[in-house]
Amino acid sequence: MDNKVIDFKDLGLKDYKETWDLQEALFKETLDVKISNRRENKTDLTTNHLLFVEHPHVYTLGKSGDMSNLLLNESQLKDKGASFYKINRGGDITYHGPGQVVGYPILDLDNFFTDIHKYLRLLEETIILTLADYGIQSERSPGETGVWLGVGTPFARKICAMGVRASRWVTMHGFALNVNADLGYFDNIIPCGIRGKAVTSLNVELGVEKIDEAQVKQKILKHFLDLFEAELKA
């Protein structure tokens, strides 16, 4: 029996490592239920989670990432007030920080569809529809996960990074949309290992100082639930 109910939490500003530990705990909990169901021929429902969070300045490197894409040494990281973690998602290096809406879906895709490619495309579509609400036309860039503006032009720029991990169709990690991000922090990395491509933020594109992040989160949540045909836990 499928369960398309999502337990949603907005964690506010939270340390990256603490949030990663929480993700791992929820991920393991879901996997344990699935393994127990299979072993004991049970049909216990797995829980789906969606976490929204904002992190203090941090750089994370995916398992296939290249350390040389981080352009700072340890003392320079300290000067910038940033931390660094090697983590177990796909993708290369990325930055998280204040002014960014980060979403971590911990879903059992057996409840939805067993197709990672479709999963990534729906995450991208969630952001594309959210940006369209602000009059911003965004799109996918062939061979490069995430959401981009100006694809195919000399002004191509990334507004949302994505990287996921999945095991037995249970997902973790997710997306990071730049809403009011300090883009200077991206100068310290080769974002996602892609040279010569710029990064942008929603406030920059709209030419305003600050966007209401709570409103952006509401729009992301609505599109996410619609695309996944899901509902929030009461």
Q: pLDDT digit of tens for each residue in the chain (234 aa)?
A: 579 999 999 999 999 999 999 999 999 999 999 999 989 988 889 999 999 999 999 999 888 788 888 999 889 999 999 999 988 887 788 899 999 999 999 999 999 999 999 999 999 999 999 999 999 999 999 988 899 999 999 899 999 999 899 999 999 999 999 999 999 999 898 865 566 678 999 999 999 999 999 999 999 999 999 999 999 998
Q: Is 175 left (phi over 0), alpha (psi -120 to 50) or beta?
A: beta
pTM of the model: 0.94
Distance CA 42, CA 39 (A): 8
Catalytic residue flag (residue 160): no
Query: For residue 102, which of 190, 184, 179 has the smallest C-alpha distance?
Result: 179
Tell me how far apart the alpha carbons of residues 151 and 198 are, in angstroms, rounded to a whole number. Answer: 11
For 80, 172, 211, 228, the CA distances from 25, given in Å and listed in that order, are 30, 11, 32, 23
Pick the CATH number of 5-232 from 3.30.450.20, 3.40.50.300, 3.20.20.60, 3.30.930.10: 3.30.930.10
Domain ranges of the chain: 5-232
Phi and psi of 151, rounded to 5°? Answer: -60, 135
Contact 61, 67 (CB under 8 A): yes
Catalytic residue among 58, 70, 176, 192: 192
Which residues fall within 8 angstroms of residue 13, CB to CB, at 6 or more apart?
53, 54, 55, 56, 98
User: Residue 54 has what pLDDT?
Assistant: 98
So what's the pLDDT on residue 14?
97
Give the SS3 label for residue 19.
helix
User: How many residues are listed for the chain in this entry?
Assistant: 234
Nearest to 69 by CA among 184, 191, 153: 191
Pairing of strands 5-13, 48-54: parallel
